[in-house]
Amino acid sequence: MNKLMQGIALAAVMGVSGLAQAAYIDTVANTAPAEAPVGVPGNNDYANGTGIPGGLFTGPQYYDTTDTVLLSHSLASVSEDPFKLTFTYLGKEAGYTGSFLYEGSEVFNTATSPLGDTFSVIYSGGLGKLDFGFSSDAWGAFAGSVSNQGAGNLAGGYNFSIFEVGEDWFILSLDDNNQVDDNHDDMLVMVKASKVPEPGTLALLGLGLAGIAVRMKGRKKA
């Protein structure tokens, strides 16, 4: 392998390794002892596939009624390094208008946000609970709210459950305490954490790709 190709291979390897994920977020219990996982209610429309597709939720379906979720837990940063957070609106089954908020600002609204809408932000706050939450409006009147930073996401009240899809990948499912049901499908938001690409790594990868282009151009001329 000549010097150019060695450099390109090194850049590619470093680029791929620089994009590898690590653990950035995880669940923390809000009670002691921690509440055990609970089964997903059979009338949870997302879990039983109602409205996927069909206007209520966007697919694919990540959990069903055979799975378990966490109540009385929050999502917290477990890394002191900055990382990227991406939130995705998966849908809703509720008469109330629900909102998802990050650091006090509305990100998604069940009345106006399109299914699959996303929001990304770089988190650099270190260890601790993430600052997001839900609130609902009942035909012009405030209905309730819950913060991930508190301990109020308890079963039987305005709360949300947490389903772990994979490492750094969770689904938050709201129960807006409408008294009609208690099945955690009133608003669903997915959250993923990922590594922030380092500028030096990206530049090195770009240099390697540029080298490939130059070499291919030279071959064509020859």
Domain holding 218, by residue range, is: 1-19+197-222
Give 103's DSSP letter: T
Specify the residue for token string 């020859």.
Answer: 222
3 and 101 inside one domain: no
User: What average pLDDT does the segment 26-48 reach?
Assistant: 93
86 and 135 inside one domain: yes
User: What average pLDDT does the segment 149-161 reach?
Assistant: 73
H helix runs in the chain, sequence order: 3-18, 199-221
130 and 205 inside one domain: no
144 and 165 inside one domain: yes
What are the pLDDT digits (tens) for 185-218?
Answer: 999 999 999 999 777 444 444 555 555 454 445 5
Predicted local distance difference test score (pLDDT) of residue 150: 80
152 and 114 inside one domain: yes
User: What average pLDDT does the segment 84-104 reach?
Assistant: 95
**Residue 13 vs residue 104, higher pLDDT:** 104
148 and 216 inside one domain: no
Q: How far is CA 206 from CA 14, 35, 199, 209, in A?
A: 11, 48, 10, 5
Predicted local distance difference test score (pLDDT) of residue 14: 38
Query: What phi, psi does 167 have (nearest 5°)?
Result: -60, 130
Record the pTM.
Answer: 0.79
What are the pLDDT digits (tens) for 51-93?
Answer: 888 789 999 999 999 999 999 999 999 999 999 999 999 999 9
Using a 10 angstrom Cβ sphere, with 0-12 exposed, 13-18 middle and 19 or more buried, the burial of residue 65 is middle
- Amino acid letter, residue 201: T
Using a 10 angstrom Cβ sphere, with 0-12 exposed, 13-18 middle and 19 or more buried, the burial of residue 169 is middle
Predicted local distance difference test score (pLDDT) of residue 53: 81
Specify the residue for token string 């997915």.
Answer: 190
The pLDDT-based confidence of 147 (bands split at 50, 70, 90) is very high
Q: Which residues of 91-116 are buried (b: 16+ CB within 10 A; e: fewer)?
A: bbbbebbbbbbbeeeebbbbeebebe
Query: Cα separation of 94 and 166, whole Å?
Result: 27
Predicted local distance difference test score (pLDDT) of residue 116: 96
Query: Cα separation of 128 and 130, whole Å?
Result: 6
40 and 139 inside one domain: yes
86 and 5 inside one domain: no
Q: Is it the case that residue 99 has pLDDT exceeding 70?
A: yes
3-state secondary structure (DSSP) of residue 14:
helix
146 and 168 inside one domain: yes
Query: Cα separation of 75 and 198, whole Å?
Result: 25
| Tally of domains within the chain | 2
Of 116-125, 144-153, 165-174, least confident by mean pLDDT is 144-153
Q: Is it the case that residue 17 has pLDDT exceeding 60?
A: no
Specify the residue for token string 């399109």.
Answer: 114
Query: Cα separation of 58 and 89, whole Å?
Result: 8
Over the chain, what is the mean pLDDT? 82
User: What average pLDDT does the segment 4-30 reach?
Assistant: 57
User: What average pLDDT does the segment 113-137 reach?
Assistant: 96
**What is the percent of the chain with per-residue pLDDT over 90, rounded to a whole number?**
62
Query: Cα separation of 104 and 130, whole Å?
Result: 12
